[in-house]
Amino acid sequence: MRILITAQAIYSHLAPLVLPVAQRARAAGHEVAVATGPSVIEHVEKRGLTALTLPHLQSMGEAFQSGELQPPPGMEKAGSVTLELAPDFFAATFVGHLAESSAQDLLEVAKDWQPDLILHESTEYGGYLAAERLGIPHGALDIAPMAPYAHPAVTKELNRQRSKLGLAPVDDPWHPFRAFRAGVVPEDFYPTDSRLPNARYYQVPAQTAQAGLDPAIAQLPSSRPLVLATLGSNATRLPGGAHTLLNTIIETLGDLPVTGVVALGADRAPQQWDGARPDNVHLTSFVQQELLLRSSDMFLTHAGFNGTREALTAGVPMVAVPLFAEQSHNASRLQELGVGTRIDVQNVTHDSLAAAVRNVLDDRSYRFRAQGIQRRTHALPDLDRLVKDAAALAA
């Protein structure tokens, strides 16, 4: 079977699920290709996978720089306030501009590659549109469970794009996901109204680092709780590099009876950090996050879904400080599930952050509930089963 997997031209949309699924599908004997934009095609090729370039598919950053897309209102304040993901922006950007570009490119690609099945990561609507136009089965790999897929603005834009391809309108906002949606957290992570009958859930294998844990981190004191903190790979790209927020995090951990590890961001060397440097907080540019979470007591996070999933898989409770995109929805869901607490950026002070960290560490119920999700995650089938289930759509 020829399986085409599509993804946004954003590394974080590729690495955790799309690339591992492609590798498992190839190992199962299928012909597999991953289609995405030029800026990230190298990451597909590095895995030894067939890469199909969609020449007109830009990342959001590229689209902002070119002027083809306008950043969401308030983006200049990112890092100093929490920006909620507006459904209208999601619709115009992901279901509109980016999907239109990728769908047209995919229809050209399909003339030669001729897929039997298209799997699209959940924010990449071009794969869905192309599959509908070609009349072939399709399914979604859900990398962002809390995005506003069911909002009326999304359905309206979806039908606008369908009309351009000569497709009839749909009334069901979940139409792109109905045939098959592969989730990578247990069903109870999803709010009740977004649990679909044909959704299935799988566990993502650990992305084991080639080298072991950084020896400097391995040798940190073990007499106090270990708190891992990171604002993700995009923190250094935010206005001011989110310096004030990072500094508050470091100062606060420094005043608490914990051992802190703070990842400043890959583009920011610890030697160049000009903020606080308390003795009990280890600063690093990059941390082997998935590996370190296994021995962490708490995760202070921006609530990106990849990190959220990794922490839940490790049974680690969280303090979430969402920055932008769907992070605020993830953070609220963590709070609803009782596995973490949320503080918006504009409400982060030394006192408010210290109180949140103390509460999550001292109230063991956060840990117990996180470990419950961990157990349910470990009971999920693996990605080999995902490939079999997806392939059955075209059998």
* Domain ranges for the chain: 2-203+380-394, 215-378
Model pTM score = 0.95
Strand 281-284's sheet: what is its strand order? 281-284, 259-263, 226-230, 298-301, 318-320, 340-342
SS3 200: strand
Nearest Cα neighbor of 119 from 46, 181, 207 is 181
Residues across the chain: 395
Q: Are 383 and 205 in contact (CB under 8 A)?
A: yes
Q: Which residue ranges in the chain fall short of pLDDT 50?
A: none
Summarize pLDDT for 214-246 with one digit per residue, the tens.
999 999 999 999 999 999 877 777 777 789 999
Q: What is the pLDDT of residue 329?
A: 96
What gap in Å lies between CA 138 and CA 117, rounded to an integer? 6
Strand 181-183's sheet: what is its strand order? 50-53, 31-36, 2-6, 117-121, 138-141, 181-183, 199-201
Q: Are 387 and 117 in contact (CB under 8 A)?
A: no
Q: Are 178 and 134 in contact (CB under 8 A)?
A: no
Decide whether 2-203+380-394 matches 215-378 in CATH topology: yes
Residue type, 206: A
Backbone phi, psi, residue 260, to 5°: -105, 145
Average pLDDT of the chain to the nearest whole number: 95
Nearest Cα neighbor of 327 from 315, 346, 345 is 345
Domain 215-378 CATH assignment equals 3.40.50.2000: yes
Q: How many CB atoms lie within 10 A of CB 197?
A: 7
Q: How far is CA 280 from CA 31, 65, 250, in A?
A: 51, 40, 10
Q: What is the pLDDT of residue 238?
A: 78
Q: How far is CA 24 from CA 49, 69, 157, 322, 364, in A?
A: 11, 35, 33, 33, 38
What gap in Å lies between CA 332 and CA 249, rounded to an integer? 20
List of residues 6+ apart from 143 with CB closer than 8 A: 13, 16, 17, 18, 121, 122, 123, 184, 305, 306
Q: In whole angstroms, what separates CA 18 from the centre of its chain?
A: 11
CA distance from start to end of the chain: 9
> Candidates 3.30.450.40, 3.80.30.20, 3.40.50.2000, 3.40.50.620; correct CATH number of 2-203+380-394?
3.40.50.2000
